[in-house]
Amino acid sequence: MASSWLSFSLSFLLVLHGTFAQQRYQQQQGECQLNRLSPQEPTTRIQAEAGVTELWDQNNQQFQCAGVSLIRHVIQSRGMLLPSYVNTPLLAYVERGRGFYGIMQSGCPETFQSSQQMQQGERGAGSRFQDRHQRIGQFRQGDIIAFPAGAAHWAYNEGNEELVLVCLEDSSNNANQLGQFSRRFFIAGNPQQGQQQQGQYGGKSLRRERFESGNVFNGFDVEVLAEAFGVDREIARRLQGQDDQRGHIVNIQQGLRVVRPPFSQEQEEREERQEQGQYGPRMNGIEETICSAKVRQNIDNPSRADIYNPNAGRFTTVNSLTLPILSFLRLSAARGVLHTDSIMAPHWVTNAHKVIYITRGEARIQIVDHRGQAVLDDRVRQGQVVVVPQNYAVVKHAETEGCEWVEFNTNDNAMINTLSGRTSAIRGLPVDVIASSYQISRDEARRLKFNREETLIFRSSGRARSSERVAAA
């Protein structure tokens, strides 16, 4: 009797597990069954003391298909994004401005040291103390910065203009075990004091949503915090930030005084030469650890372009071959520039979804699904986002203003296959196969196969067929 009951219980559990697995599989499969795509703009705007954060709707089917969230921080001069961490890997693109950042990894050494003057009233006027902290990095326009999941980080705008950071959070990454959405955990301030605004943004009404990020210290008992840090109750209460009305981006009137190495043009050029001479990641565990890993790379410099056509534009990638930490994050990015009346050849990405954010100008973008139906045929302009699911075919045409964009990929080495050009699928077919497949003559098939000598970017007029060059790796 007992063995029969045990057998029944095991069978029931297996069936139940299979049912749940099937349901989850069906849900995942249904997330990318998209009949229409459309350019997306932020739906929520959170105003803080020294800047604003704009969020795209995580519930949108396109973002659910890609398993990502998109955020844009606009930080005023001398503004600081308070320290926080996210349950997902994060890639940030510096659209405008410059500043510096810190990433705190538990167990990593405090390699930056300085001696600072104490303020009046702190342990006596004129005294000095030794400060030690983990390393700080500087960034400028065009940089991609990689933040591992769960690593606390902050950012500061040291320039005179606004700092704009466009951030992708990959909630589908296996580092996230909290569900389908990303969550941000602040360790300072009172982020929920940020004012949610309704009004007009890009011609569309903003939808009121709750800004769910909060200070994790606020949930602990004050006595416990005081004991944990060895401080009095007042300082422990300050940790919780309950009386802080500044929001999640705060103004530092006197400027942020932290020790960091000088950042020179010579250093930047040296790093670029090293990147161009590196043909693969060095993964033996000696040259680079999680504490010393390089997390920043600039993709705006034309000399770093992977594909360059002086008459049509350029395309620059950053992946795990050039920035090895991306193999840990399982993400990559690319920067594209199209001149007026230029085209990025029809192509598809074999192993990743991609999220395209337009940084300047506009382009007509067409996306086609597996049924051969156009799920998007629209002009996408500056500040808008388009999601291209894996294997969907896409083409970009910059008509009058030209177009620039950054794209984030959900694979650390996203692979592009083209439909036209010198390295395309059509170019790889025999002439007779082309003629038979499309019911055209052999001469027409030959022209279809060989007319385009460029690989990815070309003028739509066809006048610059031989001018494209592939940059050295």
% of the chain surpassing 70 pLDDT: 75
The pTM assigned to this predicted structure is: 0.83
Q: What is the pLDDT of residues 227-266, one digit of tens each?
A: 999 999 999 999 999 889 999 999 999 888 776 666 555 4
pLDDT at 25: 35
Spatial separation of the C-alpha atoms in residues 334 and 316, rounded to whole Å: 5
Would you state the pLDDT for residue 27? 36
How far apart are the C-alpha atoms of 443 and 319, rounded to whole Å? 40
Residue ranges, the chain, pLDDT below 70: 1-31, 109, 111-131, 133-134, 194-212, 259-288, 461-473
- Residue 21 has a pLDDT of 38
Please identify which residue in the block is written with the tokens 């969550």.
183
What is the model's pLDDT at position 45? 94
**Cβ atoms of residues 334 and 409 within 8 Å:** yes
Q: Which domains does the chain have, with CATH numbers?
A: 42-113+129-268 (2.60.120.10), 298-457 (2.60.120.10)
For 252, phi and psi rounded to 5 degrees?
-115, 95
pLDDT of residue 258: 76
Q: What is the DSSP letter of 218?
A: G
Task: Read off φ and ψ for residue 231, nearest 5 degrees.
Answer: -125, 175
pLDDT at position 107, please? 77
Rounded mean pLDDT of the chain?
A: 83
Q: How far apart are CA 349 and CA 361, in angstroms?
A: 24
